[in-house]
């Protein structure tokens, strides 16, 4: 078992499992300083392939709801891709 050190106080002895974040990754809490942290954070970035699929569907005039349902992303993600595409043009 690998001992985790608290990123704030560097204490190894008082780090305990705390909860899960929304992506399902284990979070930890330091009993000494009370800070919570996720070791080795994962980014939740949109893959280039999925971004291109969204742009293609938008160009094909498919509804945002339909794109969200088909690709499994939120409508906010589609709006962000659309805005970035408009500002780049």
Mean per-residue pLDDT, 16-32: 90
Task: Dump strand ranges (E) for the chain.
Answer: 15-20, 26-30, 36-37
12 and 38, same structural domain? Answer: yes
Percentage of the chain lying above the pLDDT 70 cut: 93
8 A C-beta contact, residue 10 and residue 33: no
**Neighbouring C-beta atoms of residue 82, cutoff 10 Å:** 15
26 and 11, same structural domain? Answer: yes
pLDDT beyond 90 at 16? yes
Range of the domain at 8: 1-43
Helix axes 48-59, 64-71, angle to 10 degrees: 150
pLDDT at position 57 is 95
20 and 52, same structural domain? Answer: no
39 and 13, same structural domain? Answer: yes
If one counts the domains in the chain, the total is 2
Q: Which two tokens stand for residue 56?
A: 């293609």
19 and 39, same structural domain? Answer: yes
Mean per-residue pLDDT, 33-37: 92
């Amino acid at each position: 078992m690998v001992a985790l050190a608290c990123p704030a106080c560097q204490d190894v002895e008082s780090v305990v499992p705390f909860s899960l974040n929304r992506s399902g990754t284990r979070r930890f809490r330091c009993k000494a300083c009370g800070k919570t942290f996720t070791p080795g954070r994962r980014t939740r970035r949109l893959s280039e392939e999925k971004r291109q699929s969204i742009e293609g569907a938008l160009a094909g005039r498919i509804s945002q709801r339909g794109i969200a349902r088909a690709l499994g992303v939120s409508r906010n993600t589609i709006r962000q891709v659309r805005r970035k595409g408009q500002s780049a043009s």
